[in-house]
């Protein structure tokens, strides 16, 4: 499957917004997604017969934080998440980053498995950080060296 990448800020916002809403049980607000498409944030949209996913980083000096990464629900399970995350990490290195941080819902087992496969390790947890439909759940804090 051929995929291409474009600057997330240049991708059709409606496509990103639709993916965000479908990929997460508790998606970001429209205003938050829009705000992460400009400095100091950066990222790319993955295209394969239209936009199928995206990632967004915040960079401070030589560290990046993966703010968001998602794949269109209908395309999940095809290995696109691995392709997208590998691309994101490569681009972070090109941007001079030496460390990558992220947080993920403790219930997001597929994301946790992907991050672990890509060399991320758990650094800690924020207890009860994320809202859920029936309460709260932990945020798993993870990091990976990029050198």
Contact partners, residue 113, CB within 8 Å, separation at least 6: none
* Percent with pLDDT over 70 in the chain: 99
**Pairing outcome for strands 99-105 and 63-71:** parallel
Q: Is 68 within any annotated ligand binding site?
A: no
Closest CA to 78 of 105, 114, 118, 107: 114
Going along the chain from its start, the domains and CATH numbers come out as 4-145 (3.40.630.30)
pLDDT digits over 79-130, tens only? 999 999 999 999 999 999 999 999 999 999 999 999 999 999 999 999 999 9
pTM assigned to the model: 0.92
Specify whether the CB–CB gap between 52 and 80 falls below 8 A: yes
Which residues are part of the catalytic machinery? 103, 115
């Amino acid at each position: 499957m051929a995929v291409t990448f474009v600057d997330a800020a240049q991708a059709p916002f409606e496509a990103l917004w639709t993916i965000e809403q479908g990929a997460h049980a508790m998606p970001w607000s429209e205003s938050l997604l829009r705000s992460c498409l400009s400095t100091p944030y950066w990222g790319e949209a993955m295209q394969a017969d239209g936009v199928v996913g995206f990632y967004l980083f915040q960079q401070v000096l030589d560290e990046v934080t993966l703010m968001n990464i998602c794949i269109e629900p209908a395309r999940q399970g095809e290995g696109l998440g691995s392709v997208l995350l590998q691309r994101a990490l490569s681009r972070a290195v090109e941007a001079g980053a030496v460390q990558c941080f992220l947080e993920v819902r403790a219930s997001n087992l597929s994301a946790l498995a992907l991050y672990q496969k890509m060399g991320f390790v758990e650094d800690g947890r924020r207890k009860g950080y994320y809202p859920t439909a029936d309460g709260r759940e932990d945020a798993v804090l993870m990091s990976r060296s990029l050198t």
